[in-house]
Chains A and B, each alone.
Chain A
Amino acid sequence: AQSVTQPDIHITVSEGASLELRCNYSYGATPYLFWYVQSPGQGLQLLLKYFSGDTLVQGIKGFEAEFKRSQSSFNLRKPSVHWSDAAEYFCAVVLDSNYQLIWGAGTKLIIKP
């Protein structure tokens, strides 16, 4: 069955430091991959998505992600985090059979001043 794994429940980084959030998927065909962010008390916002083409995709708020088929990964990165990036981040894959999203459990990002 298709699944998405985010191995880190929490990650703490200092403000200004770089960030990488891990996402691994299990899916037989070419996946359509997404990263969403959920700030406290708010809904989910799409950061970026990968469908095909260039494996390095740029998103909003200075985030990028790289699709690596050989590693079944779609890790999210940001070169320098800001305190406002503190939130929960979700990786998801869409099933092209019914266009439904399969979600990871999320990674909570904590920013140290």
Chain B
Amino acid sequence: EAEVAQSPRYKITEKSQAVAFWCDPISGHATLYWYRQILGQGPELLVQFQDESVVDDSQLPKDRFSAERLKGVDSTLKIQPAELGDSAMYLCASSLVADTTYEQYFGPGTRLTVT
């Protein structure tokens, strides 16, 4: 069964350093989502892509976070500089299209710890 791939699974970094996460969605899925999940909370959408275009990045802290999906396939989320409050699980999800009836499939996530 096709899966959403994410790497790395775990990342420890010092504050003020740069960090990057990678996501490879299920083949053929046009819509890609990045979420941040703080321990004890539900996921919070950071950015949504439709193919290579950003559909919504209203919750992305653009002073330090950036996301790209250059060829409309895999995606990278970057934080520079990292802050202590960025410690969280970063989840990537994809769906065939952006539609209420289409399931979002999630990757295993990247657990970020900022020290």
The chain A residues found within 8 Å of chain B, CB to CB, are 4, 9, 32, 36, 41-46, 49, 51, 90, 92, 94, 96, 98-101, 103-106
| CB-defined contacts of B45 to chain A, threshold 8 Å | 100-101
| CB-defined contacts of B108 to chain A, threshold 8 Å | 41-43
**Contacts of B92-115 to chain A: CB distance below 8 A:** 93, 98-109
Q: Tell whether, in the assembled complex, residue A105 and residue B100 are in contact, meaning their CB atoms are under 8 Å apart.
A: no
- Our pick among A42, A43, A105 for the contact of B42 (Cβ within 8 Å) is A105
**Contacts of B1-46 to chain A: CB distance below 8 A:** 4, 31, 40-45
| CB-defined contacts of B99 to chain A, threshold 8 Å | 99
- A24 to B: closest C-beta gap in Å: 14
Given contacts A99-B102, A103-B42, 5 further A-B contacts (CB under 8 A): A44-B43, A44-B91, A46-B104, A101-B45, A106-B42
The chain B residues found within 8 Å of chain A, CB to CB, are 4, 31, 40-45, 48, 55-56, 91, 93, 98-109
Residue of A nearest to B9 (CB): A41
- A19 to B: closest C-beta gap in Å: 20
- A50 to B: closest C-beta gap in Å: 11
- B51 to A: closest C-beta gap in Å: 15
Q: Tell whether, in the assembled complex, residue B100 and residue A92 are in contact, meaning their CB atoms are under 8 Å apart.
A: no
- B37 to A: closest C-beta gap in Å: 9
Alpha-carbon distance between A41 and B98 when the two chains are bound, in angstroms: 27
- Our pick among B40, B43, B107 for the contact of A103 (Cβ within 8 Å) is B43
Q: Tell whether, in the assembled complex, residue A43 and residue B107 are in contact, meaning their CB atoms are under 8 Å apart.
A: yes
23 contacts between A and B (CB under 8 A): A4-B42, A9-B40, A32-B101, A42-B108, A43-B4, A43-B106, A43-B107, A43-B109, A44-B91, A46-B104, A46-B105, A90-B42, A90-B43, A92-B42, A94-B100, A98-B48, A98-B56, A99-B102, A101-B45, A101-B104, A103-B42, A103-B43, A103-B44
Alpha-carbon distance between A79 and B15 when the two chains are bound, in angstroms: 47
| CB-defined contacts of A36 to chain B, threshold 8 Å | 106
